Chain A
Amino acid sequence: MTHDIVIVGGGVGGTVTANRLRKKLQREVSGGNVRIRIVSDNPEHVYKPTFFYVPWGESEPEDARRPLADLVDRRVELIYDRVTHIDTSGKSLDLSENGSMPYDYLVVATGAMPDLDDTPGFGPDGDGHHFYDAEAAMALRQELSAFDEGHLVLSVIGTPHVCPAAPVEFTMLADSRFRKLGKRDDIDITYTYPLPRLHSVGPVAEWAEPRYAERDIQTQTMFNPETVDSGNSVIHTVEGTDLEYDLLVGIPEFEPSPLIAKSGLGDTWMEVDKHTLESDHAEDVFGIGDVTNLPTSKAGSVAHYAAGTVVDRIAALVRGHEPRTIFEGDTICFLEAGADEGSHISFDYETDPVVRDQSEFVHWAKFAYNEMYWLTARGLA
């Protein structure tokens, strides 16, 4: 009997899982006993952290993209289609263009998308900028290249959001870049956050506070934008405060695909066991990456490490063993401290976050990793 393993999503989690499963189950795949398939509605794999550098001209949108077929092992089937429903009792998927397909084991890795329509400052009337897709990052580059004076506001408008370090990094990078250009005296920078501190991760908040003070970056906490009046360039908050801006860079709230709720896999985010990554609501269904409700950050490293757990568990099930590998919540994020220095933070379910000292080497390590990522996607590193 052939075991059908289907992976929904061709992002970090889906691609790494497919390639590592193929390596792990080499014998079974070669013998025709296991078939691995990826279903993705995007024929291109997108490494979104690259977009962070696009507004500053340090990366181009095409650096973030590669055809899935270039990255996924040739023995993994690629199906370019959209999954419209998951029937977890009948163990099959409905596809937009290609009918339905069965699965024995399913991995859901559909990620998280910015909810721009419901985030103040965005949508058709908004003038907020962000850097979570190629088009938006290029539009922000255009704005930044002409921004010589005024008030730049980086506002974390919605939570949860992906890449938890990005807002802090963007602010530090903006300060550093404007200083190098000799414009910093003419540009005010304000960072806002919806909680009573600068970041939801305590040590990151403690790390950022003195550095923001040194760099003359203004901060506002407990700042929850309710509406953004783009005509007058003013943010109005739930707390009753107003903040004027000349350039607004907002961090929108993220949401999962509606497929999750529609298929009974969770009310909003996919609900999984934090150690086994198995669905709380369906057998032989696993979730990895940003789509899940895991009690940790929505970061690429989480998807990468979680993929290893899912691969081990599915391989054990296919071979008739009891799965033993569990996910411990491993998370690691780089934290750029300007244009020339970087730090990193690591934690898991049991270990509190620790922010390391910043250095030039960690900054280079981040640059190096962004290139090395393509090896990670192939399941190599």
Chain B
Amino acid sequence: MSEEPIDPDSEAVQHALETLVELEETGTLDDLADAANLVSLASEAVDDDMVRSTMRAMVHAGELFDTAAGEPEALRNLEVMTAALSETAPDPATAPDQVGMIGMMRKMNDPKTKRGMGFLVQLLHELGDQLEQRAHRYDFETEIETERP
């Protein structure tokens, strides 16, 4: 910080005053004073562990959001799944009737059920593929493909 005395007529001081007057006239200064009290409270109440543990939780949430942001197709599929979940039992207290083996065989002739099965079977396939790829990424001895694709 500069040790030089402040010139009250300087451009910087005049500009700062203008800003302050504007904040006062718009009522923002009162809001800022209230916010400052909150900051002061935080300063008294917060300690290193609180900062660390809160940030750690926020970072985990941030990582989840980042993953979701990188997988827009997964989000669209998730929307399909959540819509289907809502329609399956709009009131969870009155869930669909029980279905036995014969009922299930009968349902298999329903074109929409067949479509859902197709989705689930493909999901299982992709799940297996991802598990295989992950295992490969965590296998530190894995040999690499050196040829260009």
Contact = CB atoms under 8 A, between A and B. Distances in A.
A360 B51 CA distance: 12
A45 to B, nearest CB: 13
Nearest to B130: A74
A219 to B, nearest CB: 22
B29 interface: no
Contacts of B134: 69
Looking at chain B, what size class is its interface with the partner chain?
Answer: 20 to 34
Nearest to A356: B1
Nearest to A380: B66
Q: Which of A58, A78, A99, A381 has the most chain B CB atoms closer than 10 A to its own CB?
A: A78
A32 B148 CA distance: 11
- The interface residues of chain A, by DSSP majority, are classed as mixed
A23 B146 contact: no
Interface residues of A, number: 37
A114 to B, nearest CB: 24
Given A374-B63, A375-B62, A98 B143 contact: yes
Given A98-B143, A360-B43, A368-B51, A375 B59 contact: yes
A123 interface: no
Interface string B117-149: 000000000000000011001101111101011
Contacts of B70: 23, 73
B33 interface: no
Given A32-B149, A374-B63, 13 more contacts: A35-B148, A69-B137, A357-B1, A360-B43, A367-B51, A368-B55, A370-B52, A371-B55, A372-B55, A372-B58, A375-B59, A375-B66, A378-B66
Interface of A: 2, 4, 23, 32, 35, 43, 58, 67, 69, 73-74, 77-81, 97-102, 357, 360-361, 363-364, 367-368, 370-372, 374-375, 378, 380-381
